[in-house]
Chains A and B, each alone.
Chain A
Amino acid sequence: MPIITPRRTRGAVVLGAAALLASACSAAVGATSEPTGPSTGAAASWDQIMRAAQGQTVSLWMWGGDPQGNAYVDDVLAPAAKTLGVTLTRVPITDTKDAINRILAEKQAGRSDGAVDLVWVNGDNFRTGQQAGIWQCGWADGLPSAALTAPGDPLLTSDFGTPVDGCESPWHKAQFTFVYDSARVPDPPHSMNGLLEWIQAHPGRFTYPAPPDFTGSVFVREALYATAGGYAQVPAQFSQQAYDDATPPLWDALNAIRPSLWRGGDTYPKDSTQLDELFASGAVDFTMNYGPATLTKLVGDGTFPATTKVLTLDEGTVGNASFLAIPVTSGNSAGAQVVADLALSPAQQVAKADPSVWGQFTALDVSRLPATEAAAFAALPASPVVPPYDVLSRHANPELAAAWVPALDDGWRRNVQAAG
Chain B
Amino acid sequence: MRARLLLLPAVVPVVVVLGATLALGGAQSLGLMPVVGEPALNLRAYRAVVASGDLWPAITVSVTVAGAATALALAVGLATALAVRASRVGGRILGALAASTIPIPHVVGAAAIGLLLADTGWLPRLLGLDEGAWPALVAGPWWGAVVLEYAWKESAFVALVVLASLAADTGELMDTAAVLGAGRWARARHILLPLALPGLVTAGAISFIYAVGSFEVPWLLGRSSPEPLSVLAYRLFTSTDLTVRPQALAVAVVTVALSAAIGLAALGLLRRRPVLA
Chain A residues in 8 Å Cβ range of B53: 418
> Is A13's CB under 8 angstroms from B209's CB?
yes
- Give complex CA distance A210, B139 in Å: 13
Interface string of A1-45 (1 = CB under 8 A from B): 111011001100110111011101111111101000000000000
Which A254-304 residues sit within 8 Å CB-CB of chain B? 263, 266-270, 277-278, 281-283
- Give complex CA distance A418, B161 in Å: 41
- Give complex CA distance A18, B22 in Å: 8
Complex: chain A residue closest to B14, CB-CB: A14
Q: Among the listed stretches A127-135, A182-190, A225-233, A374-382, which one makes contact with chain B, having 4 or more residues with CB under 8 Å of it?
A: A127-135
> Is A18's CB under 8 angstroms from B245's CB?
no
A212 within 8 A of B: yes
B176 within 8 A of A: no
A159 within 8 A of B: no
A97 within 8 A of B: yes
B36 within 8 A of A: yes
Interface string of B201-229 (1 = CB under 8 A from A): 01100100110010000010001110000
> Is B35's CB under 8 angstroms from A31's CB?
yes
Chain A residues in 8 Å Cβ range of B239: 212, 406
- Give complex CA distance A28, B32 in Å: 10
A125 within 8 A of B: yes
Which residue of A1, A3, A20, A418 is within 8 Å of B252 (Cβ)?
A20
Chain B residues in 8 Å Cβ range of A25: 21, 24-25, 28, 33, 249
B164 within 8 A of A: yes
The A-B contact count (CB < 8 A) is 141
Shortest Cβ gap from B57 to chain A (Å): 9
Which residue of A13, A22, A281 is within 8 Å of B21 (Cβ)?
A22
> Is B224's CB under 8 angstroms from A22's CB?
no
Shortest Cβ gap from A203 to chain B (Å): 12
Chain B residues in 8 Å Cβ range of A417: 224-225
Which residue of B120, B157, B252 is within 8 Å of A282 (Cβ)?
B120
Interface string of B6-38 (1 = CB under 8 A from A): 000000001001101110110010000111100
Shortest Cβ gap from B189 to chain A (Å): 23
A70 within 8 A of B: no
5 closest Cβ pairs, A-B complex: A25-B24, A2-B164, A21-B21, A281-B120, A267-B223
A-B contact pairs, 29 of them (CB 8 A): A2-B163, A2-B167, A5-B99, A9-B102, A10-B206, A21-B22, A21-B252, A24-B25, A24-B237, A25-B25, A25-B249, A27-B245, A28-B35, A29-B24, A31-B33, A31-B35, A31-B39, A104-B35, A125-B240, A132-B35, A212-B235, A263-B139, A266-B136, A267-B140, A267-B141, A270-B219, A283-B119, A406-B241, A420-B225
Q: A residues within 8 Å of B by Cβ?
A: 1-3, 5-6, 9-10, 13-14, 16-18, 20-22, 24-31, 33, 95, 97-98, 101, 104, 124-125, 127-128, 131-132, 210, 212, 263, 266-270, 277-278, 281-283, 402, 405-406, 413, 417-418, 420
Query: With A128-B242, A406-B241 given, can you name 17 additional A-B contacts, CB distance below 8 Å?
Result: A5-B164, A9-B206, A14-B14, A21-B24, A25-B24, A25-B249, A27-B245, A28-B34, A30-B33, A33-B35, A131-B36, A132-B242, A263-B139, A266-B136, A268-B224, A406-B239, A417-B225
